[in-house]
Chain A
């Protein structure tokens, strides 16, 4: 019963998460609190230097700033984190205190799983967050501010994120204009493989759409711009061919996908032009993506056979629907997270000194009992007292063997947590099975 009495001295530290995100803080505030990589590194070291904080990782993306830490003294750790953030970002604590959330234990574990799996993102299922968290984690491991507990937690979180991505459809449906356009293209053409694309005008969104198309390996590319020089520049960028603005009408005969985003107040392509072109191209389908406002492509073209026109509002409509689908899938993700929180909690609870020593002794006792029994069965000539002596001897062995490791694991000081040794012990003797 001695162990139980000791328990208080070896109490497990707590996992604490403190932070703010797009749901609790305005974009101005997030901008003000966001950390650059160097800032994050110095802040991490400062946090880690504090005696109550054993392990710490800091995430800072455009939608969230969060500090994940392991501490024996929750309230002091939280105060320290707040104070350091306020000092480094020269912002008074009052300015961001209301936006902060603090999660402890299971809640913190669940929160980190949700963040990494992109269930807590502004756009549920967006894939960048995983890379961002991996980067922040790497930064923390480089300066060794993360230890056994957070390493395990983050690795588990990455595994959970992967599982959610493969088992649910949270990443399935296109939620950006360019992805939506490609999805539609696939529904019309089947594969985009040899389809020719014409880009009319320049603009960030049009170029983004073009890059997505390129990644999906389309066929030949044509670029047309009012100023031919700019057109040439873009053509070089996309490895395509620049054509004059006047040539667009002829070009309609051969291209299959047209992305348009010019600043023109009038339609660039009219219904009559397309009608003629469609006849010449023997009714092969043609797909217009009109990203311009005001529009470049006459919407009446959509009524012609085998032509499909999607403008920016249509594409936004597609995206809204897909977001609804993703949110439905996210529910399945939550279930996977629940499972993993329980598993992690199990591992974490066992990381305690007392339970490790007990588990170790039980394991050795079991082995000794089985082996002595086997041996005694073949030694029939021994009397009951002899057997008892042998049993006592094996017990003494175990006691002697375990004496030093037990002392070592118990010799726990504030700055030398035995979590690493505990973890190694559990692995070495396979105590978690």
Chain B
């Protein structure tokens, strides 16, 4: 059974906050839910399915959020695979809707990582209870260190340069300048990135995403129902998800989950790379974008550093990427997949203002969750304003 064109994002809302010390995580989630339902022209009573990660909510986290919003859904999914979770939720919700398990699914996220001063990337790695942790945590891995080891190997194998990594951050900032909600909007240069302090070699501070507060939500429903709602439907054409890990000590670390999830999403959507008008790719670090584009098949392995140059990933280039400014410049409350979805929806509806991509009909969304250098997930969606 193909999901192509059967389900659509009917509502999307990005919480404008970047720092909310006076709000709770559940409040940000509820405000985001209200925004996405308003956007769709629906009410909370229309929601019969709920997806959220449960991360930060305690044991059996999603139940606590159902309690908070007095929800009694027919379908719940708290898949928690890091920052890609909400991208995967969208596919799971689509499958559930297409199978008749529910009709309208709210996918929701909120985080107060910045106001709680939670060191996402440089505070050591969470966990400790799993078998793999016993062979990693004693040596001091950090999230940024995990990605830095990928960058180091990429440079060694393919001659990728610090300047090429920096270019990803420079373009993100150019896009953020056109996004009034973005946290960092002052232009930066390649020189600024290279002059920023080293956090974990070869990644400088400006190679790393920020830590912000934030929230967001999308509403997913059947294509048939979406066509009767307030906004132009954003159809799901194809989806894929995958996991990579240390592979009993035999991992090729430059082969990432995107290779598998991207191939599945393209096959299922029946579109090719040349059809993609916008790529929303998780930019936890500059290297993440380069290695993800390679694994998604936009260029050959090792060519990512050259591929992103020459303005190609600018909003007016050949492959516009992260037009909201990404996690490098707009916002990053910890699990950014939600905002990849929201910006893709804005662009496909023609609501992106100054940074609008011309004739934007097909968008690829790819979320990465976890750490590329140890274990991570990848979730890819292909979305369109045309049903197929």
Decide whether A and B are members of one complex: no
* B positions within 8 Å CB-CB of A: none
